[in-house]
Amino acid sequence: MPRGPKFRKVEGGVTATDGFSAAGVSCGIKTSEGALDLGLLLSDRPCVAAGVFTTIACPAAPVLWSRGLVEQGSGRAVVVNSGNANACTGEDGERDAAAMAIAAGQELGIEPDQVAVASTGVIGRPLPMDKVVVGVADAAEELSPAATAGDRFAEAILTTDTAPKTIAIRTVLDGKVVTVGGACKGAGMICPDMATMLAFLTTDAAISPRPLRRALRAAADASFNCITVDGDMSTNDTVLVLANGSAGNARITDGGEAYRHFVEALTFVCTHLAKMIVRDGEGATKFVEINVRNAASRDEARTAARAIANSPLVKCALHGEDPNWGRIICKAAGCGIRFKPGLAKLRIGGKLAFEGGTPADTPIAELEQAMQPAEIVIDLDLGLGKGAATVWTCDLSREYVAINADYHT
């Protein structure tokens, strides 16, 4: 066996996996001329499918449709549009989501219940089905296993994102080369529990529905659920994986070593995609990792990390490169978790800022310097227990306000 990194990055995204074709076309859902707004993804054979979705109380119509598909555990295609979320659209919206799957199924010669549907964009507007149907036909014609086709798919799912987000890796599992490819979108309105983000993953690993579902849940929990841009959750969040089994590994059916290896691979891909979303956060100029350690519990660690990450005051301080550790301590102390100031220790970029209930001796100039890199790590040790959590976020800039105040529905 050749030596090398456990997960080797390769070119491409969803089409890096053998047996998958993709396309991205412009069908006029987005108002800007020629913008890609409809993507199609197809496997040349049946796949095991799994998904995780928004936990919001008003999921969009495509989420309801795709939930049904992953409950049955199989699927072969994904049709996705940007520019319109088909959310808060009632029964008409549900009919439209189904019509998208039916249109794609007809073009691809497969059953509609093998077609997952996703949408992202403006809420509360009827989907222009005439345009969608034309787009689906165009996309079906353009389907290709080329890397460029995967790129067009990745571009077609974007909204306020500034760049497509893709990755593909190869790893050796059970003596076979297994590929995991992915594409995602999401910029503003990103927070844990799948907030307005879409991610589509392809793999040739052979795996049964139940372990695939568990693996995706674990990978999403350690990646997409650890990011936050502005703490808002959306109606449409969807992470889907299709596994076509063509790698020829012994089918993963339980929680053994091969399963753990696969979870690791899926987590690697999802983490990469999740971090790309944060880096592309609306108006973001900083990538920030917040580690809370030694909290009274894991839940409390996560609560604190998210509270810090979502605080506008903390985010503004990060933007202004101001080592305002008081705002971080306040947020941790005020978010309802157990907190003892005398036991807490806060480091910014490795520099001690707060310890034993009082400011540390670190010269302010050193703390200021620690705020200057484009990537900043904040470590908060609560000194209480063994709970730990990491959250990735970005700063809050005037640009964020501009994007979200001036973007009209």
* Amino acid identity for residue 15 in this structure: T
Are 78 and 200 in contact by the 8 Å Cβ rule? The answer is yes
Q: Does 326 bind a copy of itself (CB under 8 A)?
A: yes
Nearer to a copy of itself, 150 or 323 (CB): 323
339 near a copy of itself (CB under 8 A):
yes
* 169 and 8 Cβ atoms separated by less than 8 Å: yes
Per CB under 8 A, 345 contacts a copy of itself: no
Applying CB under 8 A, the site for a copy of itself has a residue count of 69
The residue (of 259 and 339) whose beta carbon lies closer to a copy of itself is 339
Q: Which of 255, 256, 312, 363 binds a copy of itself (CB under 8 A)?
A: 312
Of 398, 8, 360, 65, residue with least CA distance to 240: 65
* Whether residue 196 lies in the annotated active site: yes
Among 2, 350, 365, 405, indicate the residue that binds a copy of itself (CB under 8 A): 405
The smaller minimum CB distance to a copy of itself, of residues 44 and 375, is found at: 375
| Rounded-to-integer distance, Cα 194 and Cα 242, Å | 18
HSE on the CB side for 255, CA within 13 Å? Answer: 3
DSSP state of 226: G
Q: Is 324 in the site for a copy of itself (CB under 8 A)?
A: yes
Instruction: Please tell me the distance from the alpha carbon of residue 389 to that of residue 299, in angstroms, as a whole number.
Output: 8
Question: Which of 223, 235, 238, 303 lies at the binding interface for a copy of itself (CB under 8 A)?
Answer: 235
The distance from CA 261 to its chain's CA centroid, rounded to whole angstroms, is 21
Instruction: Output the smallest distance, CB 211 to a copy of itself, in A.
Output: 29
Stretch that binds a copy of itself, among 9-17, 159-167, 264-272, 330-338 (CB under 8 A): 330-338
Residues 75-104 that bind a copy of itself (CB under 8 A): 85, 87-93
Residue 4 as a binder of a copy of itself (CB under 8 A): the answer is no
**Contact with a copy of itself (CB under 8 A) among 2, 3, 365, 408:** 408
- Which range binds a copy of itself by CB under 8 A, 16-24, 34-42, 252-260, 353-361? 353-361
Query: What's the closest the beta carbon of residue 377 comes to a copy of itself, in angstroms?
Result: 19
Q: Check binding of 404 to a copy of itself (CB under 8 A).
A: yes
Binding a copy of itself (rule: CB under 8 A), the pick from 1, 5, 358, 365 is: 358
49: nearest Cα among 28, 78, 9, 25:
78
Please list, in sequence order, all residues whose beta carbon lies within 8 angstroms of the beta carbon of residue 186, skipping any fewer than 6 positions away.
Answer: 161, 195, 196, 197, 198, 277, 280
In the chain, the largest separation of any two C-alpha atoms, in whole Å, equals 69
Sites for a copy of itself among residues 255-294 (CB under 8 A): none
Q: Are 42 and 21 in contact (CB under 8 A)?
A: yes
Contact 94, 116 (CB under 8 A): no
Q: At what angle do helices 129-142 and 90-108 cross, to 10 degrees?
A: 20
x/- map, 128-167, a copy of itself, by CB under 8 A? ----------------------------------------
The verdict on 189 binding a copy of itself (CB under 8 A) reads yes
| Concatenated DSSP letters of 44-65 | EEEEEEEEEE---SS--HHHHH
Tokens of 291: 């580690």
Dihedral pair phi/psi, residue 183, rounded to 5°: -140, 145
- Residue 157 CB burial class (10 angstroms; 0-12, 13-18, ≥19): buried
Minimum CB distance to a copy of itself, residue 311 (Å): 6
> Counting contacts by CB under 8 A, is residue 31 touching a copy of itself?
no
Q: Which residues are catalytic?
A: 196
Q: Which residues form the interface with a copy of itself (CB under 8 A)?
A: 54-58, 85, 87-93, 122-125, 188-189, 195, 230-235, 310-313, 316-317, 319-320, 322-327, 329-331, 333-334, 337-342, 354, 356-359, 396-398, 400-409
